[in-house]
Structure 1
Amino acid sequence: MRVTDWMRYQGFASTYQQLVGDQLKLQRQIASGKRILVPSDDTAGAARAQRYNQVLSILGQNTRNVDEATDWSRTTENAVLTSINYIQRAQELAVKATDVTLSAGDRQAVTEELEQIIGGLVDTAGLRHRGHAVFSGSRTDVAAFAAVYGVDGKISAVNYQGNGENRTTEITPGRNTSYNLLGSNEAGGQFGVFRDTSAGIDIFGTLIELRNFVTADDKGSIGTISIAALQDCLTHLTEAEARLGGTQSRLIAANTSNEDLNEITTSALSKISDTDIAEAATNFSQLETAYQAALATGSRIMDLSLVDYLR
């Protein structure tokens, strides 16, 4: 077959366009740091990269969930520690109130301080984290407890306003955990911090009863009922603290797992989608050499300065 000048030109033009296209692609890969610019660059690799990106997105959300649950748990822990301090002070006042030498004025002072403790505990049990009541179960728009006042202006009862549902969140891919403590489990089942029917604990009721005993100067009931009940309340709050410690340990372990999986996934994604700069630079240099050779060959074929023409 006779090879015409036009056929030579077409062959050169095709080679030239391919070299220019390859150079532009390498330039974009080097500039962006990404080997796969469009799915057609590597269909299988692009599919794997998409899956890895989905995993990284899930891990990112899991990490945010862990952070939020950790903050929530720490807020809850602070409230429990404050409650422990209140109960310990109430124990001291209960012992003081059994002193036969206690004057009426001192007894009144004890009564007033116990009223302050009850009110302070209501406030503590109504603590909020970023606007959400921490002890109200899933009903976080209302304070966990509301005080009921008698005609004398003193707190006569404390009612739970939350529900019995736990707050749960995904902390690692496919693994959920609850991270809150209920203020009360009046329906039974779940652990309740301030009122637990299963354990026979009613911290508010115990404090109100103690205050009433002190007001009535009922030293016998204080000694036989209140002091033991307060110790039970303290033990119960200590258990709540331990439960929070267990929650925080799970969250720490989940965070470590997420970090490890994130590192592994990021590395795998990088191997698939990131540009090997050294290799790309070498390839670009080789393409530049081929490009210059093609121009020189084309110029000789056409017996004109194709370089000047194309430019």
Structure 2
Amino acid sequence: MRISSHQFHLNSIQNIQKNTANFNEKSIQLATNKRILKPSDDPLGTVMLMNLGSEINSLEQYKTNINAVNFSLGQQEVQLTGIVNQIYSLQSLITTAADGSMGEAEIKALGQEMSIAFPAIVDLLNATDSDGKYYFSGSKTDEKPFQVDALGNYVYSGDDIVRDVAVSDDSRVLNNIIGNDLDPGAGFLNDMKDYLAVINNPPAGGVGNESRAMIDKLAGFLSTISGQVTTIGATMASLDSVIDSNLDITTFTVNLRDDLSAVDYPEAFISMNESMAAYEASMQVYSNISNLSLFSYI
């Protein structure tokens, strides 16, 4: 079979270009440790890498979400624990006030102490984060949850929307405590306000009955607040197991991605050297034959 000079030149150039391209490709793979440089190198592998990358990004977002939830719930727990401490202070003072032997001056002195502890509870219920957002207003984080209306009564001004956050593919957790769940309808705050009005101007017979009634209401409020603290603790504890699970998944996914994308160094190095050898051989043959003429055969 005769091969024309033109066809020989074309074939030689194609071989040289092919070997050059393969040499360059293997060089880049070895330099970057990436087996797939473009989708056509491995279409199926490219799709798998995209899916794995998306999964890793999701896991990173879950990690960020968990950190944010842990911090937010931790701060809310601090506020509620502070309320519990103030409740204990009020409980001691009100129990003392319930003693029928207390005189008017002594009762008023107790009232003054209660007038310090009670606003502290209101302040904690209206606590804000570092950005000035209220913890216990539901989704209305710019609205102070417990306010005093025109009649002088406390009202809840937030909403009942609980913000939940994704922490894994299958799990979401609550990120906030609703103020209306802490003191429904601001009932305790108004009862305490009314009680303080009595104790700061006690009747001649003392405030025994009012104090005993207030102790019961205080116990109910304490139970509610303590229950929410327990809920926060349980949620944060559950996040620890989610963190461990997500970490295991992340490690597996990253390793799988790296195994799929990483270069087989020995194979790539051998292929690169073979391409270089083939390139040099093609260039030598092309050069030798290109210099031939009819005079070479005379």
| TM-score, length of structure 2 as denominator length | 0.86
What is the SS of the residue equivalent to 2:153? strand
1:278–1:75 CA distance, 2 compared to 1 (3 A): farther
Asked if 1:41 is matched to 2:15, the reply is: no
Partner in structure 1 of residue 134 of structure 2: 133
Partner of 2:227: 239
Which structure would you say has the larger RCO, counting Cα contacts within 8 Å and 6 or more residues apart?
2
Q: What is the one-letter code of the residue matched to 2:37?
A: L
1:230-254 Cα distance to aligned partner (Å, 9 max, x none):
2222222111111111211232232
Inter-partner Cα distance in structure 2 for 1:136 and 1:77: 15
Alpha carbons 2:73, 2:175 under 8 Å: kept: yes
Higher helix fraction (1 or 2): 2
Partner of 1:309: none
Contact map agreement 2:98 2:212 (CA 8 A) in 1: no
Structure 2 letter corresponding to 1:246: A
Gaps of 5+ in 2: 293-298
Q: Percent identity?
A: 22
Greater share of residues in strand: 1
Give the conservation status (yes or no) of the 8 Å contact 1:137–1:166: yes
Q: 1:14 to 1:211 in 2, by over 3 A?
A: same
Letter in 1 for 2:213: I
Q: Does structure 1 residue 160 correspond to structure 2 residue 161?
A: no
Q: Which residue of 1 aligns with 2:200?
A: 215
Question: Structure 1's 180 and 298: CA in aligned 2 closer, same or farther, altered over 3 A?
Answer: same
| Structure 1 stretches lacking a partner, 5+ long | 151-155, 185-191, 305-311
Change (3 A) 1:110 1:281: farther
| TM-score, length basis structure 1 | 0.82
How far apart, in 2, do the equivalents of 1:107 and 1:276 lie?
85
Partner residue of 1:63? 63
- Which residue matches 2:295? none
Across the two proteins, how many residue pairs are aligned to each other? 288
Distance, in Å, in 2 between the alignment partners of 1:6 and 1:207 is 103
Aligned to 1:124: 124
Describe how 1:237-276 pairs up with structure 2 within 5 A. 237-276=225-264
CA distance in 2, matches of 1:88, 1:222: 18
Question: Is the CA contact 1:206–1:230 (under 8 Å) kept in the aligned structure 2?
Answer: no
Q: CA RMSD in A?
A: 2.5
Report the Cα distance in structure 2 between the residues aligned to 1:102 and 1:224, rounded to whole angstroms: 14
* Contact 1:122 1:146 (C-alpha < 8 Å) held by counterparts: no
